[in-house]
C-alpha cells in the first residue's frame, strides 16, 4: 500500500532556541488509525498543525498524496486542506449558528468567495449534511444552536463538519480531552467507525494511553519533540511508556496489563 | 423544514436591508442630504486642507493666547467633572439597587439623573446663556449638569456591579449603613469611579470646545474667531493644540487606569 | 478554648509588630496613584474656581436668576415662533441626521473594524488603524463639521460627513473588540477546512458578533441624536437644534426653549428606553 502521508525530518523552531520538533519522521498508510501520544508540551499539537500548515514548519518535508505540502502556494494549499478534515479539543464551532450551518462550514473551502460569504449551499450539500448528522446521531439537533449542545454533541458536530469535506484524512487534536468518559467513548467509537467503514485515515493526538492502545492500529510516541516510539499498539510495553512519558509515566502504567488483556 | 431555516434567514436579511434602504432614502429626503456633494466633499476637503489648513510661522505668534484659552477650557472641564462627580456619587448611592435607602428615593434619584443626562450639554449651554451670559460659568454649569447626569448613571451601574456581595457580607456582620458605604462600597468601586471620571474629563474637553463656540468663551470661541475671519492657518493651530491636549490627557488617564484597575 | 488557642497561635509570629502602628491598607502603587489622581483633580478644581474670569458677575444673583429662569423654562413652556408640527418635523430632521451618520459610520467601521481586530488582521495594520481612531477622536466633532463645511458649504451634508468621523472612531473600537472576542480556534477550524478570509468573516465572525454590533450601533445612534442637536445649534446642521439656537440667541424666548427642550428630552428618553431594552435582550441571549 502506498503511504498517504509521509513526514520526513520535520523540524519546527519557535523563536531562537526553543525547538518544538526535532527530526520527526513517520508515514501513515491509507485507512490507518494512528494515535500520537506524549506528555503535554511534547509537540503533539505542533506536529498535527504542521501537517496541514496551520503552522509553518522550519525544515523537512511533508508529503500528502502527491503534494509536497510545504511548497504549496496559497490556492493549492487550500485545495489540499479541503481533503484533510480537522477536529479540535474545544470543538471550535460558531456558537450562534445552527448545527447544520456549522456542518456546512466544511464546504466553504470548495466554494467561491461570494457563495461562501452569502452562505449559499446547494440542496445536495444540505442533504449530505443531514445524512452525516443522522449517522452521528444528531438528527434531533439539526436546527438547534451550537451553544445549546453538550460537549459530546458539539464534538460530533465538529466531526460532521470535517466529514462533509469528503476528506481523505482526519487530524484530531485532543478530541476527547474536554469530555467526560462516556462522551469520550462515543466520540472515539465514531472516529473508529469513520476509519473502518469509510476508509478515511485518522491521525489522533491523545494523552490517554489506554484509549490510544484500545483504538489505534499504530502508536507514535513523542517526547520533547522527538519520535521515541513508532509501532503497533499491541507491541507497546511499559518500558516504551516510560520512555515516552519520562517521570510522568508512574501514573499511567498502573493497568497496562489490564488493557492488553481486555 | 430543511429549506425553511435557510429561506427564513434570507427573507429576514432581505427585509432588514429593504427597511434600512427605505429609512435611508427617507432620511436623505427630510434632511436634504446631498449624496453627490457628500462624496465629493471628502476629496475637496482634503485638497483644501492641504492648501490652507496648516499652521504658519505667523500663526505661531498667536500661540500664547491660544494656550491661555486652552488652559481655561481644561480647567473648566476638570472643575465641572469633579464637582459633578461628587454630586453623582451621592445620587448614585441613593439610586443604586444595592445601597439605596428605599425604593421610592431610588426611583426619584434615578429619575432626576435621567432628565439631566438626556438634555445635551449644548442644550444646557443655550438654557444657561440667559443667566450667566458669555462667561466661563455658562460652560461650567452646562458641563456640570451634563456630567452629573452621565456620571450618576455610570456610577450607579458600577456600584450595582461591584458591591452586591460585599454589601451583603458586611450587613451580615451587623455593620451600619454608613460604615458599609465607606468601608465596602466606595473602596471596592473607587478604581472604576476614577476611570469614569477620567473618561468624563476627556469627553468634557471635547464638549467644552462646542460649548465655547455657542457661548463665546474658551478655546471653542478662539477657534470660531479665526475660522469666521478666514484665518485658517491660526484656526488649524487651535485644532492642533486641542488634539495635543486631548491625546496627552488620554495618555495620562490610560496610565492611571492601567495602574489602578 | 481550642479555637482561642489557635487564634493566638496565628497571631504569635506578628508580635514584633506590636507597638508599631499596623496599617490596615497596604500602600502599593495602585493606592498611591489613586490618591494622587484624586488629589490632583481636587487641586485643579480649586485652582479653576480661583482663576475663572467671572466678568463681574454676581454669582449669587446669577444663581438665583438661573433658578427663576429654569422655572420659567420648564414650567411655562410655549411655542411662539414655530408651530407644533414644525417642531415635530425638525425633530424628524435631527433624527434623520443621526440615522445617516450612524449608517455611514457603521458601514465604514465594519470594514476598518475587521482590519483593526488583531485576530483577523496583522498586528501592524491593527496598530495603524487604532492610532488613526485615536486621532479622529481627538478632534471635537464640531471642528470636523466646520472643516467640512468649508468644502461642502454649511448645512446637512457637511454635518453628516463631519459627524460620521466620530461615529466611525467609536464603532471601529466597539466592533473590533467584539470581533476579537471570537475564539481563535473557530477561525483556525475554518481555515483548516480551506475557507478564505471573507468566508470566515461572513460565516463565523459576523454571525458571532452581530447582536453586539447591533446594540453598539444603536447606542451610537442614541449619542448621534444628541450630537445632531448640538450640531444644529453650533454648525448649521438644521433640525431642532437650530430652532433651539434661534430661540436662545435670536428670539431670546426662554419659554420656547423650554418647549423645545421637552421635545428633545422626550425623544432622548424614548431612545434610551429602547437602548436599555436591547441591552437587556443581549444579556439573556
Whole-angstrom Cα distance, residue A21 to residue C278? 50
pTM metric for this prediction? 0.83
Q: Which residue has the cell 427597511?
A: B19
3-class state of residue B225 by DSSP: helix
Q: Inspect the interface and report whether the beta carbons of B5 and A126 lie closer than 8 Å.
A: no
Q: Inspect the interface and report whether the beta carbons of A105 and C193 lie closer than 8 Å.
A: yes
First to last CA, chain A: 30
Asked if C102 and B26 count as a contact pair (C-beta separation under 8 A), the reply is: no
Phi, psi dihedral angles at B182 (to 5 degrees): -85, -25
**Predicted confidence band at B212 (pLDDT cuts at 50, 70, 90)?**
confident
What are the structural domain ranges in chain C?
Answer: 83-284
Domain count for chain B: 2
Whole-angstrom Cα distance, residue C17 to residue C23? 10
In this complex, is the C-beta atom of C211 within 8 Å of any C-beta atom belonging to chain B? no
Contacts for C216 with CB less than 8 Å, ≥ 6 apart? C171, C174, C175, C178
3-class state of residue B106 by DSSP: helix
In this complex, is the C-beta atom of C40 within 8 Å of any C-beta atom belonging to chain B? no
pLDDT, greater one: C235 or C116? C116
pLDDT in tens, B117-172: 888 888 888 888 887 777 778 888 899 999 999 999 899 888 888 776 777 777 77
Q: Inspect the interface and report whether the beta carbons of B42 and C49 lie closer than 8 Å.
A: no
Whole-angstrom Cα distance, residue C137 to residue A159? 46
In this complex, is the C-beta atom of B228 within 8 Å of any C-beta atom belonging to chain C? no
For residue B15, is pLDDT > 90? yes
Q: Measured between CB atoms, which of B2, B6, B9 is closest to A130? A: B2
The pLDDT of residue B228: 87
A126 interaction partners in chain B (CB closer than 8 Å): 2-3, 6
The pLDDT of residue B155: 92
Q: Inspect the interface and report whether the beta carbons of A81 and C194 lie closer than 8 Å.
A: yes
Choose, out of C119, C179, C195, C285, the residue to mutate when testing the contact with A (most A CBs < 10 Å): C195
Q: Measured between CB atoms, which of B45, B83, B129 is closest to C45? A: B83
CB neighbours (10 Å) of residue C277?
A: 11
User: What mean pLDDT do residues C161-189 have?
Assistant: 92
Whole-angstrom Cα distance, residue B224 to residue B66? 12
Pairing of strands A18-29, A201-206: unpaired
What are the structural domain ranges in chain A?
Answer: 3-83+168-261, 93-166
For residue B221, is pLDDT > 80? yes
Q: Which fold has domain C83-284?
A: MetI-like fold (1.10.3720)
A103 interaction partners in chain B (CB closer than 8 Å): none
The pLDDT of residue B55: 84
The pLDDT of residue C81: 79
pLDDT, greater one: B9 or A73? A73
Q: Measured between CB atoms, which of A85, A95, A108 is closest to C203? A: A108
Asked if A88 and A157 count as a contact pair (C-beta separation under 8 A), the reply is: no
pLDDT in tens, B163-189: 767 777 777 787 778 888 888 888 888
Q: Which of A161, A158, A212, A173 is nearest to A48 (CA)?
A: A173
Chains touching chain A through at least 3 C-beta pairs below 8 angstroms are: B, C
pLDDT in tens, A55-114: 899 999 999 998 999 999 988 998 999 999 999 999 999 988 899 999 999 999 888 888
- Do B124 and B43 fall within a single domain? no
Q: Which residue has the cell 459530546?
A: A152
Min distance A75 CA to chain C CA atoms (Å) = 9
In this complex, is the C-beta atom of A115 within 8 Å of any C-beta atom belonging to chain B? no
Residues of chain A in Cβ contact (below 8 Å) with chain C: 52, 54, 78-79, 81-82, 84-86, 88, 90, 92-97, 101, 105-106, 108-111, 113, 116-119, 158, 161-162, 165, 171
β-partners of residue B217 are none
Pairing of strands A67-68, A201-206: unpaired
Q: Which three cell numbers stand for residue C142?
A: 464640531
For residue C12, is pLDDT > 60? no
| Maximum pairwise Cα distance, chain B | 75
Number of Cβ pairs < 8 A linking chain A and chain B: 14
Asked if A203 and A52 count as a contact pair (C-beta separation under 8 A), the reply is: no
Q: Looking at chain B, which residue has its C-alpha nearest residue A98?
A: B5
- Do B9 and B105 fall within a single domain? no
User: What mean pLDDT do residues C248-274 have?
Assistant: 88
Average pLDDT, rounded, for chain C: 85
Query: Which residues in chain A show pLDDT less than 50?
Result: 261-262
Whole-angstrom Cα distance, residue A158 to residue A90? 9
**The sheet that has A84-87: what strands, in order across it?**
A84-87, A169-173, A201-206, A33-37, A218-223, A226-232
Q: Inspect the interface and report whether the beta carbons of B6 and A98 lie closer than 8 Å.
A: no
C234 interaction partners in chain B (CB closer than 8 Å): 122, 210, 213-214
Q: Which of A229, A227, A246, A219 is nearest to A21 (CA)?
A: A227
Q: Inspect the interface and report whether the beta carbons of C203 and A94 lie closer than 8 Å.
A: yes
Average pLDDT, rounded, for chain B: 86
The pLDDT of residue C1: 40
The pLDDT of residue A253: 54
Q: Which three cell numbers stand for residue B155?
A: 456610577
For residue C2, is pLDDT > 60? no
- Do B90 and B205 fall within a single domain? yes
Q: Inspect the interface and report whether the beta carbons of C96 and B30 lie closer than 8 Å.
A: yes
Q: Inspect the interface and report whether the beta carbons of C192 and A52 lie closer than 8 Å.
A: yes
CB neighbours (10 Å) of residue B214?
A: 27
For residue C53, is pLDDT > 80? no
Min distance A175 CA to chain C CA atoms (Å) = 13
CATH number at residue B133: 1.10.3720.10
The pLDDT of residue C21: 66
User: What mean pLDDT do residues C7-35 have?
Assistant: 63
The pLDDT of residue C25: 66
Q: Which three cell numbers stand for residue C222?
A: 442614541
Q: Inspect the interface and report whether the beta carbons of A116 and C194 lie closer than 8 Å.
A: no
In this complex, is the C-beta atom of A102 within 8 Å of any C-beta atom belonging to chain B? no
Choose, out of C30, C37, C60, C264, the residue to mutate when testing the contact with B (most B CBs < 10 Å): C37
Q: Inspect the interface and report whether the beta carbons of A119 and C204 lie closer than 8 Å.
A: no
Q: Inspect the interface and report whether the beta carbons of A121 and B6 lie closer than 8 Å.
A: yes
**Predicted confidence band at B248 (pLDDT cuts at 50, 70, 90)?**
very high
Q: Inspect the interface and report whether the beta carbons of B127 and C248 lie closer than 8 Å.
A: yes
CATH class of A3-83+168-261: alpha beta
In this complex, is the C-beta atom of C55 within 8 Å of any C-beta atom belonging to chain B? yes
- Write the DSSP string, B167-179: HHHHHHTT--HHH
For residue B201, is pLDDT > 80? yes
Q: Inspect the interface and report whether the beta carbons of C199 and A108 lie closer than 8 Å.
A: yes
The pLDDT of residue A200: 94
Min distance A160 CA to chain B CA atoms (Å) = 17
In this complex, is the C-beta atom of C161 within 8 Å of any C-beta atom belonging to chain B? yes
A123 interaction partners in chain B (CB closer than 8 Å): 3
Report the share of chain B in percent with pLDDT over 90.
28
- Do B67 and B24 fall within a single domain? no
Min distance C142 CA to chain B CA atoms (Å) = 6
Number of Cβ pairs < 8 A linking chain B and chain C: 222
B32 is in which domain, residue-wise?
2-52
The pLDDT of residue C13: 44
Q: Looking at chain A, which residue has its C-alpha nearest residue C198?
A: A117
Residue B129 CB burial class (10 angstroms; 0-12, 13-18, ≥19): buried
The pLDDT of residue A134: 94
Report the share of chain C in percent with pLDDT over 70.
87
In this complex, is the C-beta atom of B6 within 8 Å of any C-beta atom belonging to chain A? yes
Chains touching chain B through at least 3 C-beta pairs below 8 angstroms are: A, C
B3 interaction partners in chain A (CB closer than 8 Å): 123, 126
Pairing of strands A201-206, A218-223: unpaired
Q: Looking at chain A, which residue has its C-alpha nearest residue B2?
A: A126
Q: Measured between CB atoms, which of B38, B119, B246 is closest to C161? A: B38
- Which of B133-142, C40-49, C93-102, C132-141 has the least mean pLDDT? B133-142
The pLDDT of residue C6: 44
Q: Which of B216, B33, B13, B198 is nearest to C163 (CA)?
A: B33
Q: Looking at chain C, which residue has its C-alpha nearest residue A159?
A: C189
Amino acid at each position: 500500500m502506498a503511504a498517504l502521508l509521509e513526514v520526513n525530518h520535520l523540524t519546527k523552531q519557535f523563536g531562537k532556541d526553543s525547538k518544538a520538533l526535532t527530526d520527526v519522521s513517520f508515514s501513515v498508510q491509507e485507512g490507518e488509525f494512528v494515535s500520537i501520544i506524549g506528555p503535554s508540551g511534547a509537540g503533539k499539537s505542533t506536529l498535527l498543525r504542521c501537517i496541514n500548515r496551520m503552522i509553518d514548519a522550519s525544515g523537512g518535508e511533508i508529503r500528502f498524496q502527491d503534494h509536497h505540502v510545504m511548497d504549496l502556494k496559497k490556492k493549492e494549499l487550500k485545495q489540499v486542506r479541503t481533503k484533510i478534515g480537522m477536529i479540535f479539543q474545544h470543538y471550535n464551532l460558531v456558537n450562534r449558528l445552527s448545527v447544520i450551518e456549522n456542518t456546512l462550514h466544511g464546504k466553504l473551502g470548495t466554494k467561491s468567495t461570494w457563495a461562501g460569504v452569502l452562505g449559499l449551499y446547494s440542496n445536495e450539500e444540505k442533504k449530505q449534511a443531514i445524512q452525516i448528522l443522522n449517522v452521528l446521531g444528531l438528527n434531533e439537533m439539526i436546527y438547534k444552536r451550537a451553544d445549546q449542545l453538550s460537549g459530546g454533541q458539539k464534538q460530533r458536530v465538529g466531526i460532521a463538519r470535517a466529514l462533509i469535506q469528503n476528506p481523505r484524512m482526519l487530524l484530531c487534536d485532543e478530541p476527547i480531552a474536554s469530555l467526560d468518559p462516556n462522551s469520550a467513548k462515543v466520540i472515539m467509537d465514531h472516529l473508529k467507525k469513520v476509519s473502518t467503514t469509510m476508509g478515511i485515515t485518522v491521525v489522533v493526538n491523545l494523552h490517554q494511553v489506554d484509549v490510544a492502545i484500545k483504538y489505534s492500529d499504530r502508536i507514535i510516541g513523542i517526547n520533547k519533540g522527538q519520535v521515541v516510539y513508532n509501532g503497533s499498539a499491541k507491541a507497546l510495553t511499559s518500558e516504551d511508556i516510560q520512555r515516552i512519558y519520562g517521570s510522568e509515566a508512574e501514573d499511567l502504567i498502573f493497568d497496562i496489563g489490564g488493557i492488553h488483556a481486555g | 423544514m430543511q429549506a425553511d431555516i435557510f429561506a427564513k434567514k434570507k427573507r429576514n436579511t432581505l427585509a432588514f436591508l429593504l427597511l434600512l434602504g427605505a429609512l435611508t432614502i427617507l432620511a436623505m429626503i427630510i434632511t436634504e442630504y446631498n449624496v453627490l456633494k457628500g462624496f465629493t466633499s471628502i476629496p475637496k476637503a482634503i485638497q483644501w486642507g492641504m492648501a490652507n489648513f496648516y499652521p504658519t510661522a505667523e500663526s505661531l505668534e498667536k500661540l500664547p493666547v491660544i494656550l491661555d484659552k486652552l488652559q481655561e477650557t481644561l480647567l473648566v472641564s476638570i472643575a465641572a467633572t469633579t464637582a459633578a462627580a461628587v454630586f453623582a456619587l451621592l445620587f448614585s448611592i441613593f439610586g443604586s439597587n444595592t445601597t439605596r435607602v428605599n425604593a421610592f428615593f431610588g426611583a426619584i434619584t434615578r429619575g432626576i439623573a435621567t432628565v439631566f443626562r438626556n438634555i445635551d450639554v449644548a442644550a444646557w449651554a443655550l438654557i444657561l446663556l440667559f443667566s450667566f451670559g458669555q462667561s466661563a460659568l455658562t460652560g461650567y454649569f452646562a458641563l456640570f449638569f451634563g456630567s452629573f447626569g452621565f456620571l450618576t448613571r455610570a456610577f450607579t451601574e458600577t456600584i450595582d456591579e461591584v458591591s452586591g456581595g460585599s454589601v451583603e457580607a458586611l450587613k451580615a456582620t451587623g455593620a451600619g449603613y454608613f460604615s458599609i458605604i465607606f468601608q465596602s462600597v466606595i473602596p471596592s468601586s473607587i478604581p472604576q469611579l476614577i476611570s469614569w471620571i477620567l473618561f468624563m474629563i476627556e469627553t468634557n474637553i471635547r464638549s467644552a470646545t462646542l460649548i465655547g463656540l455657542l457661548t463665546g468663551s474658551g478655546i471653542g470661541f478662539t477657534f470660531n474667531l479665526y475660522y469666521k475671519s478666514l484665518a485658517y492657518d491660526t484656526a488649524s493651530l487651535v485644532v492642533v493644540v486641542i488634539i495635543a491636549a486631548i491625546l496627552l490627557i488620554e495618555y495620562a488617564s490610560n496610565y492611571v487606569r492601567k495602574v489602578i484597575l | 478554648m481550642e479555637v482561642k488557642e489557635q487564634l493566638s497561635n496565628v497571631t504569635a509570629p506578628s508580635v514584633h509588630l506590636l507597638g508599631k502602628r499596623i496599617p490596615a491598607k497596604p500602600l502599593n502603587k495602585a493606592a498611591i496613584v489613586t490618591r494622587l489622581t484624586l488629589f490632583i483633580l481636587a487641586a485643579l478644581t480649586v485652582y479653576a474656581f480661583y482663576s475663572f474670569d467671572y466678568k463681574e458677575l454676581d454669582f449669587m444673583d446669577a444663581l438665583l436668576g438661573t433658578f427663576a429662569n429654569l422655572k420659567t423654562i420648564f414650567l411655562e413652556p410655549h411655542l411662539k415662533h414655530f408651530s407644533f408640527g414644525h417642531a415635530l418635523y425638525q425633530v424628524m430632521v435631527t433624527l434623520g441626521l443621526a440615522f445617516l451618520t450612524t449608517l455611514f459610520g457603521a458601514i465604514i467601521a465594519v470594514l476598518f473594524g475587521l482590519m483593526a481586530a488583531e485576530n483577523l488582521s496583522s498586528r501592524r495594520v491593527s496598530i495603524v488603524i487604532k492610532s488613526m481612531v485615536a486621532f479622529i477622536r481627538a478632534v471635537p466633532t464640531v471642528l470636523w463639521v466646520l472643516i467640512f463645511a468649508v468644502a461642502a458649504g454649511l448645512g446637512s451634508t457637511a454635518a453628516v460627513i463631519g459627524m460620521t468621523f466620530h461615529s466611525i472612531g467609536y464603532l471601529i473600537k466597539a466592533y473590533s473588540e467584539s470581533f476579537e472576542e471570537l475564539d481563535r480556534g473557530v477561525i483556525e477550524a475554518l481555515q483548516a477546512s480551506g475557507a478564505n478570509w471573507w468566508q470566515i468573516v461572513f460565516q463565523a465572525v459576523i454571525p458571532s458578533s452581530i447582536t453586539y454590533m447591533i446594540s453598539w450601533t444603536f447606542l451610537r445612534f442614541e449619542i448621534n441624536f444628541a450630537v445632531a442637536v448640538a450640531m444644529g445649534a453650533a454648525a448649521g446642521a438644521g433640525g431642532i437644534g437650530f430652532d433651539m439656537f434661534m430661540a436662545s440667541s435670536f428670539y431670546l424666548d426662554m419659554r420656547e426653549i423650554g418647549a423645545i427642550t421637552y421635545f428633545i428630552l422626550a425623544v432622548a428618553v424614548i431612545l434610551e428606553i429602547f437602548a436599555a431594552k436591547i441591552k437587556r435582550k443581549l444579556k439573556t441571549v
